[in-house]
């Protein structure tokens, strides 16, 4: 398998952690890429018309995107349990994955607004609204730490990657100080071997 790769992409990181959890990481070769919201990488577009990472090329030559699809594919390929097959826990895992992805979507939109858009065109209200979405999501997690008592699944994996990205790009937020229950409850995610291994690839 081949993966279009950016070491600081939290969505790529989701796939790396998933692959490592399933014992598939050594079966993936990484293709360097330069994904950008304005200056699109033609090599990615050839395989993914959206021009985004992650994009996975399977051993059969099929191109898969985005991270949700790739992680579910890897879970099926590895016979894993990161996505429960049915029942309440499946929908909890899926909803947590959506929440983690939503935090990342908002964070990336803020980052693009601040780094890719010309300063004269930046929209402060837009940035504030996306930041508020991130904060309400973190507050929800802080108030529902029972989520983190479940067996490790794709939802918790995604939340872990979102929190890692906040450390990387939004350190000034000090999310651990603002949301101490979330900080304590999520600490086992950061200590997980698959998480630490993927962090070291950045």
Percent of the chain with pLDDT over 70: 98
Q: What is the pLDDT of residue 109?
A: 94
Determine the pLDDT at residue 200. Answer: 65
- Counting other chains too, the contacts that 39-43 makes at CB distance below 8 Å and 24 or more residues apart are 43/4
Indicate the range of 34-43, 127-136, 138-147 predicted with least confidence. Answer: 34-43
Confidence category of residue 34, pLDDT binned at 50, 70, 90: confident
DSSP string, 39-84: S--HHHHTT-TT--S-EEE-TTS-EE-SHHHHHHHHHHHTT--SS-
Angle, helices 88-115/67-77, rounded to nearest 10 degrees: 140
Q: Determine the Cα–Cα distance for residues 40 and 92; give it in Å rounded to an integer.
A: 35
Q: Does pLDDT of 72 surpass 70?
A: yes
pLDDT of 201 reads 63
pLDDT tens track for 142-195: 999 999 999 999 999 999 999 999 999 999 999 999 999 999 999 999 999 999
pLDDT of residue 37: 72
d(CA 158, CA 71): 10
Task: Determine the Cα–Cα distance for residues 108 and 13; give it in Å rounded to an integer.
Answer: 14
């Amino acid at each position: 398998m081949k993966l279009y790769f950016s070491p600081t992409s939290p969505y790529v990181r989701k796939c790396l952690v998933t692959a490592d959890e399933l014992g598939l990481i050594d079966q993936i070769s990484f293709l360097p890429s330069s994904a950008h919201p304005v200056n699109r990488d033609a090599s990615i577009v050839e395989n993914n018309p959206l021009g985004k990472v992650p994009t996975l090329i399977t051993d059969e030559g099929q191109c898969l995107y985005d991270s949700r699809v790739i992680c579910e594919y890897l879970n099926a390929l590895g016979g894993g349990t990161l996505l429960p097959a049915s029942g309440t826990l499946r929908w909890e895992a899926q909803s947590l994955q959506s929440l983690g992805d939503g935090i990342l979507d908002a964070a990336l939109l803020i980052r693009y607004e601040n780094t890719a858009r010309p300063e004269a065109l930046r929209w402060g209200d837009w940035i504030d609204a996306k930041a508020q979405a991130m904060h309400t999501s973190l507050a929800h997690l802080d108030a529902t730490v029972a989520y983190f008592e479940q067996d490790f699944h794709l939802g918790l994996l995604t939340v872990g990657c979102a929190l890692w990205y906040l450390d990387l790009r939004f350190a000034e937020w000090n999310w651990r100080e603002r949301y101490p229950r979330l900080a304590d409850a999520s600490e086992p995610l950061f200590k997980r071997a698959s998480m630490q291994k993927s962090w070291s690839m950045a």
